[in-house]
Amino acid sequence: MKSPIEAIRVPGLTRLDKLELEKELAPGSVTFKDELSDAAHGEPLTTAVVIVSVVAIRALAGWLMKDNESGVIEKKVETIDAKGKRRITTLKVNTKSSRAPKAEVVGKLAQLVGIDASLVQGIN
């Protein structure tokens, strides 16, 4: 099933996040960009651009679940469609009150990119 969304941008990643995400995702399916201009001096953070696929969504959900000590996952992400149109969305899942938190995160990501959630849930 082809997603109308081509990529998801996830900002605010630390160096450790980057190492972990690289481990989770297949080579070539994620790139990291420092999106400030040359003259800007910013915090040591980067933005991941994940190419959308069923496997990548599953891996991204797994990575989001790792930072779950507060019981709430809240992350701003941006989707980019084939025409380059961008849309910012806040993903929010209360993992304390959810019976199947990972499935919920997967479901929200799948919905965001227009993929059938059951396809993603089935991948292990």
> Among the candidate windows 23-31, 52-60, 87-95, which touches other proteins by CB under 8 A?
87-95
Q: Does 35 bind other proteins (CB under 8 A)?
A: yes
Binding residues with other proteins: total (CB under 8 A) = 36
Contacts of 93 (CB under 8 A, 6+ apart): 72, 73, 101, 104, 105, 108
CB 29 within 8 A of CB 63: no
Q: Does 27 bind other proteins (CB under 8 A)?
A: no
Q: Does 36 bind other proteins (CB under 8 A)?
A: yes
Q: How far is Cα 64 from Cα 34, in angstroms, rounded to an integer?
A: 20
Q: How far is Cα 66 from Cα 55, in angstroms, rounded to an integer?
A: 17
Q: Does 91 bind other proteins (CB under 8 A)?
A: yes
Among 1, 28, 90, 124, the residue binding other proteins under the rule CB under 8 A is: 90
The residue (of 2 and 41) whose beta carbon lies closer to other proteins is 41
